[in-house]
Amino acid sequence: MSEIALPNVDRTIVSKKDIIVNNLKQFTDKKNVLSELDEIRPYETDALAAYKNLPLAVVLPENTQEVSEILKFCHRENIKVIPRGAGTGLSGGALPLNDAILLGLGKFNKILDIDFDNKCVVTQPGVTNLSITHAVKHKGYYYAPDPSSQLACSIGGNVAENSGGVHSLKYGTTTNNILGVEMVMMDGTICRIGGKTLDQEGYDLLGLICGSEGLLGVITEVTVKILKNPQTVKAALIGFPSIEDGGSCVTDIISNGITPAGMEIMDKALIDATEKFVHAGYPMDAEVLMIVELDGTKSEVEELFKQIKQIAEKNKSNSFKLSKNEKERLGFWSGRKAAFPACGAMAPDYYCMDGTIPRGKLSEILKEISRLSKKYNLGVANGFHAGDGNLHPLILFDGSNKEELRRTEEFGAEILKACVRMGGALSGEHGIGIEKRELMCEAFNDNDIQQQINIKMSLDEKNLLNPGKVYPILRKCAEEGRVHVHRGEEKFPDLPRF
């Protein structure tokens, strides 16, 4: 996991480090430019700590103008730039390069305008997802997408990765919940896309930027839509004796025309782990546990839970518990939300995967994962956003054992390949980043990837903005499959690299 091919390092850039750093100090306060080894080391990785790489320097601009000046300079001097938000990404999207400037947006941490009349908030990109909700909740509003890291992840990063969360089945992901952005292109051009109006005319540039993983522009302002809190929110815990029963219950609920706000599934391993960790009161006799949350008016929620109960019983559920109050509802979620640390307590390391499958393939993929678990002799715990088919298997391993690390990596790749085979996607919400880059050819052929690269090249013709991410480094990937390269020894040095 720690050795992966990166774009070739431009030695001339590295040799000019001092000049570059001095230049950067013209564009922003000089204390915002970090260049000493001690200072830049903590920036060598994001939340996917398996990959580490030092940047040339770190710069923390304070406003859009500064970002524009910095990018203009880098564009002129052919210096690569890696944008970074809160550094909570799980796919290594903010992994620095030795000859690149790391552009941190941590100082863009202010909410600029709360507009209740137009139901939107204009904010700088470094503001965290949850603080937007905090800023509007006194009037009964909230911002819908809620990734698990919503406490810490920045809204700019959410746009870059098109983050979802537990409630994206009903409320969509980031792309469905933003109205506009201001961004700076690699050549320093400042561009406003959208605003306080719904949709935009012409090409949907907002849709293109959302989920572009920082390859097309640096986001310096975001306008998000806020929603009124639902009147009633209730959750139910439903236990099932087998994976098949749980899986078919998910499909039955959806085909009965019910759209839950959230629908989660946990397997036995995860139930055990979390129950030990937080004592959420989960039924221990269940093989599969489902958490269903509904929101809406009181009578509607009650009526739909009646229907869900019937559907669950038809699918042989062995327990059904409806939350009586808000405290109990949050209790139901506490276990699911503690999935990561609970697994952290079970093994020295865990590797969180993020694939998507069609809902109907739920039990099929769970069986495949358990087969692979045996094959690779590694433990795995499964948490799913079942409503939208987004799965997060957590592979348990010991990172200090090199051989186990290798097995983990292969296990993870096989899960994702299975997702694609079943008609799903490589990533639901973490993004491709550096982690799944070489797997892109599982889902796309050369034409598809070439078209995407053409777009990238049309907006960043020198390929300076976040290079080495998302697209396979070795082209002709369809033949190569996953490429594993040791530092310095690239397999095909003459092939064009992107």
Partner 1 sequence: MFTEEKKNSQIFQDSNHLSPTSELEVSELIKEAYKKKFPIDIHGSNSKKFIGYNVQAAKSLDFSNLSGVIEYLPEELYIKVKPGTLIKDIENILEKNNQELSFEPTDFGYLKDGKSNKGTAGGCVSCNFAGSRRFKVGSVRDFILGFRGVNGKGDIIKSGGTVVKNVTGYDLSKLVSGSFGTLVALTEVTLKISAKKPSQNTIIIYEKDPKIISDLFNMVLSSSNEISGAVFVPDEPKSKKFAPNKSKAFKLNDLDQEGDFFAFRIEGDQNSIKERIKDISNEMDLKNYKTSNLDIYQSDLFWKSINSLQLFSETKNNLLRAVVPPSKSEKMMSFLKNKYRYFIDWSGALFWIEVPGDQNIKEVKNTIIQNDGYVTIIKKSEDFEFTEKLFTIDDTKLMISKKIKESFDPRGLFNPGKMYKDF
Partner 2 sequence: MQTNFTETQLKDKDNQSSEKIFKKCVHCGMCNATCPTYGILGDELDGPRGRIYLIKDMLENNKKPTEKVVKHIDRCLSCYSCMTTCPAGVNYMHLIDHGKKYIEKNYERSTFDKLIRYFFIYYSSEY
**Residues interacting with partner 2, by CB under 8 A?**
34, 36, 38-39, 41-43, 45-47, 49, 60, 86-88, 104-109, 126, 128, 130, 149, 151-153, 338, 340-341, 344, 348, 399-400
Should residue 430 be labelled a site residue for partner 1 when binding is judged by CB under 8 A? yes
Should residue 479 be labelled a site residue for partner 1 when binding is judged by CB under 8 A? no
In the beta sheet, which residues pair with residue 70? Answer: none
Q: Is the separation of the CB atoms in 102 and 59 below 8 Å?
A: yes
Structure tokens at 345: 């307590």
Structure tokens at 116: 């209740």
Taking the complex as a whole, how short is the minimal distance between the CB of residue 108 and partner 2, in angstroms? Answer: 7
Should residue 149 be labelled a site residue for partner 1 when binding is judged by CB under 8 A? no
Give dist(CA 465, CA 79) in Å, integer.
Answer: 9
HSE of 178 in the Cβ direction (CA atoms, 13 Å)? 34
Nearer to partner 1 among residue 17 and residue 421 (C-beta): 421
Should residue 312 be labelled a site residue for partner 1 when binding is judged by CB under 8 A? no
Should residue 10 be labelled a site residue for partner 1 when binding is judged by CB under 8 A? no
Question: How far does Cα 172 stand from its chain's mean position?
Answer: 14
Contact partner, 281, from partner 1, partner 2, none, Cβ < 5-8 Å per class: none
DSSP state of 385: E
Nearer to partner 2 among residue 47 and residue 226 (C-beta): 47
Give dist(CA 385, CA 193) in Å, integer.
Answer: 31
Q: How far is CA 74 from CA 236, 308, 417, in A?
A: 53, 57, 38
Among 2, 22, 63, 451, binds partner 1 (CB under 8 A): 451
- Residue 316-355 contact track with partner 1, rule CB under 8 A, x = bound: ----------------------------------------
* Count of residues in contact with partner 1, rule CB under 8 A: 92
Taking the complex as a whole, how short is the minimal distance between the CB of residue 190 and partner 2, in angstroms? Answer: 21
Nearer to partner 2 among residue 214 and residue 239 (C-beta): 214
Should residue 470 be labelled a site residue for partner 1 when binding is judged by CB under 8 A? yes
Q: How far is CA 301 from CA 14, 182, 228, 253, 275, in A?
A: 61, 39, 17, 14, 27
What residues contact residue 458 under an 8 Å CB cut-off, 6+ apart? none
Nearer to partner 2 among residue 152 and residue 233 (C-beta): 152
Give dist(CA 182, CA 283) in Å, integer.
Answer: 48
Nearer to partner 2 among residue 31 and residue 374 (C-beta): 31
